[in-house]
Amino acid sequence: MKQLLKTLTETFGPSGYEDAVRKVILKEIKPFADEVRVDALGSLIARKKPSKGGKDVKKIMLAAHMDEIGVIASHIDKNGFVRFTNVGGTFGRYTLGARVRFMNGTPGVVGYDRLEQMDSMPPLSKMYIDVGATSKADSPVKVGDVAAFERPFVEMGDRLVAKSMDDRTGVVVLIETLRAITLRQAQGGSTPHDLYFVFTTQEEVGTRGAGTAAFGIDPDIGIAVDVTPTGDTPASLKMTMELGKGPCVKFRDAGMLSDPRIIDWMIQTAEKAKIPHQREVLLLGSTDAKEMQITRAGVMAGALSIPVRYVHSSSEMVDINDLKNSVKLLTAMLSKPVSM
């Protein structure tokens, strides 16, 4: 799981440019899926058919987004410095001094016009990217070129640090869940549901891929697997989510209210299987579940969240045990019939 997460987090994939990430995922899931396709917005959809039919078969969509935050070049000045704007939730406090890499391979470092106050939070509009050019003519970057942050994957015991843990952790959890369910089938187990493992595009710019994928699938139940900020660092927001205490069952975020039936299903399954879990009320942000919930005539939706420190920075931190327990919980949920 660690090696797969390393590969995924170090793969380039800002919103709208998820091709390389999709190729990595496709290689992993192809042996386990019954059907695989890519929709018009680029979301990768892997279907795992039920072991047998029947009126109680539920069509369940599980979504984790492939894209990451990034920046896009908006102007090149006469000295070759690159002005830029955000792609997704790119925050000034994490961007100054960061290293980025453009899609064409060009590296760059983010600088700032002038620091009047050393501790102030600089806006992106006052920053630039230095790509080593001396003039506009010799700049390897053009307006419209997209870049992602560049940081290596680091292990710190059970704590793992990398850029784009949001949401490559969710991607890994879905891949490993699909693998676990396939292994259960090979050992005589069954899958009572019609499962759609969806690796969505453009979540960071408005949960777009999840909306179109859900419209096409028309699921009975939708579950997003994404990250959630923690409340376990000094002077953090007062939230109960902590690293290493298990996956979080979402009750509410800024974009949606989870269906109580989904919440009960998750918590009861976790309690019965003795899987550590947490209750999540998120004050800021939302997930693909927001879009699934309001597709077509509406879908029962909820979310399973992986606790992450320093969200939307280039050094997001997770605990490997939270990923393992997320896989255990989803596998337990999807391996037995559910009546709703």
Give me the active site residues, please: 203
Q: Which of these, 158, 228, 151, lies nearest to 1 by C-alpha position?
A: 158
State the pairing for strand pair 127-130/146-149.
unpaired
Q: Which of these, 157, 148, 113, 110, lies nearest to 131 by C-alpha position?
A: 110
> What secondary structure, in 3-state letters, does the chain show?
CHHHHHHHHCCCCECCCCHHHHHHHHHHHCCCCCEEEECCCCCEEEEECCCCCCCCCCEEEEEEECCECEEEEEEECCCCCEEEEEECCCCHHHHCCCEEEECCCCEEEEEECCCCCCCCCCCHHHEEEECCCCCCCCCCCCCCCEEEECCCCEEECCEEEECCHHHHHHHHHHHHHHHHHHHHHHCCCCCCCEEEEEEECCCCCCCHHHHHHHHHHCCCEEEEEEEEECCCCCCCCCCCCCCCCCCEEEEECCCCECCHHHHHHHHHHHHHHCCCCEEEECCCCCCHHHHHHCCCCCCEEEEEEEEEECCCCCCEEEEHHHHHHHHHHHHHHHCCCCCC
- Note the maximum CA span of the chain: 68
How far is it, in rounded angstroms, from Cα 168 to Cα 226?
9
